Amino acid sequence: MAFNGCCTMFWFLIFIWIVQVGSVPIQYLINTITVPVKGYSTSKGLPRIEPPETVQEYADIEQAVVEGDLLLPDDRLAVDSLWPATDGVTSIPYKLNKSLDKRKGTILAAFKMITDQTCIRFHEYTNEENYINIIPGKGCASYVGFQGGAQPVFFDKSCTTGNLCHEIMHALGLHHEHTRPDRDRYITIQWDEVVPDKKDNFNIKKGNTQNLDYDPESIMHYGTSYFSVNGKPTIIPKDDDIHMGQRIYLSPWI
């Protein structure tokens, strides 16, 4: 009963955040890679430094991407469904592209980050209709929430365990923390430093926070210089001791 109660509460919170953002306490680490981005180099002409989660949006791909790592359904409708549960337990099938066999340990570690702190479980795909399909791609990216069928999660060689955990949390229904309605109490968006056509990535999503604390150190939070036009900060925390953009672990779900 206690386990089922935990799952019920977990999915209730996920449901609340589907139209908003998610919050999971964590610690600090920034994962970045050097990528050439035409038109947005540093003042010295060097390639930009970007986290793997933003590369998808800059890449030449057919799938529409917003906020760097969020894929849009073809019909662009808002996500309004959760992964189905059986007897109060949600165990999500996953399938790995064969080219990722050598990184299976990293992928399983990302699942473990979630299962250690939540009631969500993962199991290898057999013949299920709905499953997470982890495939190679430019950067890391995912849909938000349950889509049905073979739901892709892109996992590039540049992506770490924490990056993949971030994407799976998107697949479970969580949006980015920095788009919460109360974010301006905790961070300041430096709009002049944001790449002009990426400013929508920093727009607030309306919704009820259900009195959950804003977490600038969430694994779902942007780092300091995401989508910077010149390498300068795009987000400044109002607390100097806050470190944003870590991709290390989830703390206990409370």
Could you give the residue numbers annotated as active site?
A: 167
- 46 Cβ contact list (under 8 Å, min separation 6): none
**What distance in Å separates the CA atoms of residue 197 and residue 195, rounded to the nearest whole number?**
6
H helical segments located in 19-123? 52-58, 104-115
Q: Which amino acid is at 243?
A: H
For tokens 């399983």, the residue is 108
Strands (DSSP E) found in the chain: 33-35, 48-50, 65-66, 70-71, 91-96, 121-124, 131-135, 140-142, 150-155, 187-189, 235-237
Nearest to 71 by CA among 52, 56, 82: 56
How far apart are alpha carbons 17 and 20 in whole angstroms? 5
Q: Give the Cα separation of 240 and 226 in Å (integer).
A: 18
Q: Which amino acid is present at 79?
A: V
Q: Are the beta carbons of 156 and 61 closer than 8 angstroms? A: no
Using DSSP, state whether 131 is helix, strand or coil.
strand
